Chain A
Amino acid sequence: MKLMVFLLIAIIILSILGTLIPQGEGARAFAAHLAPGLAFLFHKLQLFDIYHSLLFVILMILLSLNLIVCSWSRFPTSWRLFRRAFSSLPDRPSSPHKVFVSQGRLEEESLRLENLLRKRYRKVRREDKEGVSYLYGRKGFFSYFGMYIVHLSVLIIIGGAVIGNLFGFGAYMEIPDGGFSDTVRLEGRDDFKKLDFTVRCDRFSLELYDNGAPKSYRSDLTFLIGNQVAYKGPLLVNHPIKFEGIRFYQASYGTITGSKAIITVRKNDQEVYELYTTAGTDFKLPGEEVTGKILRIEENLMGLGPSVKIAIHSAEGDLQFWVFQYIERIIEKNPSLFENVPLLNPGLFKPYLFSLDGFESKYYTGLQVKHDPGVSTVAVGSFLLVFGFMVVFFSSSRQIWINLETEGKWTRISIGGKDNKNPVGLQRDLSYFMRKITEEQE
């Protein structure tokens, strides 16, 4: 008992530490803020991966052992309690609750009470010996085993977690929209793993609410073994796909850098040219000795949105300027922007006006990949745990003894009972029988 409290408190403290010190992925950034010596110490003490640290594992093992040993050594007592009530003659109530004297004959009275008892109690025994009638009823003896069910289920859950840690893996993979992949990056390790099949992302789509918050992420996936399509289906958050014992979850998404920009060039409000290229490409404006180059493509420049940097080479010399996609909005906020910063003017090279219509953004989908053979064990343990709680907390074992004895013309009836948890319920039952006994006499 002392050991159990000590172990649980130690686990509690370690767990709390784990929520205060960044773990796993976040640990590296945190360690950079620490003095190098301290970071090294933390690392050596496994404080960056507390829940898999040696100390934590040892504590869990000790807790399990403690649980097993305690339950093991206690079980025979419970078992004996359970058996004894069946095998031996039911005792006479040691301190009877109440003694009545009835005018009815012993046989009639005992038969009547036996039937009453049977209505309310699952197990009823009757024995007649030396002029005494012993009635005994009991129910809920299973309640003695609730504690073992609970403890067993805790062990099963821990066992399931161990199985998952030993034989499973957690990983992550990114597949470009339209692309495929058969390797995953293992979590917590800089290591890759090759799957026995290929996953292809046929389409990734993103839906937004009106306020810009994400509404759904969806990847249409195809699983291929060799070149054979083995499974096809959509993957959404909260709707994982299981394939060959491995579960895939929609975890994240992103855009692939190196996207193509769509640029329109106007001359005196007439559209003259359309560009659709990646950074680094050269172009030539039609009909003139003007060449240009797309220098850079930025997804979000200075927080002002997508932008491309363009260089122009002409007879008048060289020019460079940025073309923002949302230039109207920017001008609204800074009406004098072009005077102050000509570099941001998309019409700097007169009489041409450049505009950025957007990027052809290409998404990749990020999948969480998990193989955990311990899940079903943990699920069984959880069910059993809840069932055990029902037995421990909401059932009690109750016994009732009624003895009948002839005393001259009368029959002496004594009644008593016992309950391991619920004295109120026992009292209710006893009152019921006492009422029934006296009822008949009037």
Chain B
Amino acid sequence: MLNSVIFNGVTFIYLGAFVFYLVNMVTAREFWGRLASFTALFGLLAHTTSLIIRWVESYNLGIGHIPLSNLYESLVFFAWAIMLLYLIVEWRTKSKVLGAFVVPFGFLLMAYASLSPDNNIQPLIPALQSNWLTSHVITCFMGYAAFTISCALSLMYLLKGSKRGNSSETFLRFIPALDILDELNYQMVVFGFVFLTLGIITGAVWAQYAWGSYWSWDPKETWSLVTWFIYAVILHTRFIRGWRGERIAIMVIIGFVSVLFTYWGVNYLPGLHSYQ
């Protein structure tokens, strides 16, 4: 169908954007930076268009629903949220180096989605026929996207921090100063934490309607709580102990592993939520 064709194209556009961001980081030429941003923005527009097309196509099939209902659609939406949030951050901070670390996540998700054997639009099973589906999925993925970006920031931090001595010689000098990275990282963690909280709450409301119980310790719920606790610990060590920098970066990466497990790993555990 048309939408999957465009999504496949978007995958390559993101790959291109990633390459341009890399070249920009190494050469620090403005031209490459502009080209990278332009490519990423173009990819995001095509991505958005395709999401809308898929939505319309589902209505044409007589099973209209927002495209957020199976693994394929969630991968595509995850990538979309990352790219959207990234471009907003780039626009606000005017720094393009981050792109070389974030865009690959968007690209990999899209590539993984396009390998997925089942990209057909499927009708909604009764449990998913709820308005809460939309608010739940959107809030969760905004949170996941913020955590992805903060993971990328942490990687940058560790990379730059480990080469403190001779960083002026390598391309690492184009990475923003450590305290700027740390501050941005904190803001992303806060953003993600708030959205994850909203995601858990909307999910609980929905579960209360669909299954009669706002919380049933199903693996996905449990893992989202685990993730929530990890980021709560990160915020507390920062607030109370004043931890900064490297230790925060490492904890953020641990948090992100938990995010990935919440999103994807739990599919291999039995439960209500798995996207199969």
Contact = CB atoms under 8 A, between A and B. Distances in A.
Interface of A: 1, 4-5, 8-9, 11-12, 15-16, 18-20, 22-23, 26, 51, 161, 170, 209, 211, 213-217, 236-240, 247-251, 368-370, 372, 375, 378, 382, 385-386, 389, 393
Contact of A236 (B126, B201, B211, B223): B126
A238 B222 contact: no
15 contacts: A1-B236, A4-B236, A11-B229, A213-B125, A214-B125, A237-B129, A237-B210, A238-B210, A249-B212, A368-B212, A369-B212, A370-B212, A375-B214, A382-B201, A389-B197
A26 B270 CA distance: 9
Interface in B174-218: 190, 193-194, 197-198, 201, 204, 208-215, 217
Given A238-B209, A389-B194, A161 B127 contact: no
B95 interface: no
Given A19-B222, A20-B269, A238-B127, A251 B122 contact: no
A238 B129 contact: yes
Contacts of B229: 8, 11-12
A389 B236 CA distance: 14
A272 B219 CA distance: 58
Given A20-B269, A249-B212, A368-B212, 15 more contacts: A1-B241, A5-B236, A12-B230, A15-B222, A15-B223, A16-B226, A161-B215, A213-B122, A214-B125, A236-B126, A240-B209, A369-B212, A375-B208, A389-B193, A393-B194
Nearest to A367: B212
Interface in B220-248: 222-223, 225-226, 229-230, 232-233, 236-237, 240-241
B217 A251 contact: no
B211 A251 contact: yes
B215 A385 contact: no
B269 A19 contact: yes
B233 A5 contact: yes
Q: Which DSSP category, helix, strand, loop or mixed, fits chain B's interface?
A: helix
A19 B266 contact: yes
A20 B213 CA distance: 21
B52 interface: no
A180 B22 CA distance: 68
Contacts of A16: 222-223, 226
Contacts of B236: 1, 4-5
B130 interface: yes
A249 B210 CA distance: 7
B22 to A, nearest CB: 31
A151 to B, nearest CB: 11
Interface in B111-168: 122-123, 125-127, 129-130
Most chain A CB within 10 A, of B126, B208, B270, is at B126
Nearest to B258: A12
- Summarize A's interface: helix, strand, loop or mixed: mixed
B88 interface: no
B45 interface: no
A238 B130 contact: yes
Nearest to A50: B217
Contacts of A51: 217
Contact of B212 (A15, A240, A386): A240
Contacts of A213: 122-123, 125
A250 B127 CA distance: 10
B266 A170 contact: no
A170 B217 CA distance: 14
Nearest to B266: A19
Contacts of A20: 269
Contacts of B230: 12
A240 B232 CA distance: 34
Nearest to B210: A238
* Candidate in A11, A19, A215, A378 with the most chain B CB atoms within 10 angstroms: A19
Contacts of B240: 1
Contacts of A240: 209, 212
B123 A247 contact: no
Contact of B237 (A5, A15, A389): A5
Contacts of A9: 233
Contacts of B204: 378, 382
A393 B191 CA distance: 9
Given A19-B269, A209-B63, A251-B212, A217 B126 contact: yes
A247 B208 CA distance: 10
B217 A215 contact: no
A107 B194 CA distance: 47
Contacts of A238: 126-127, 129-130, 209-210
Contacts of A170: 212-213
A369 B211 CA distance: 10
Nearest to B132: A238
B201 A386 contact: yes
Nearest to A13: B226
A151 B190 CA distance: 16
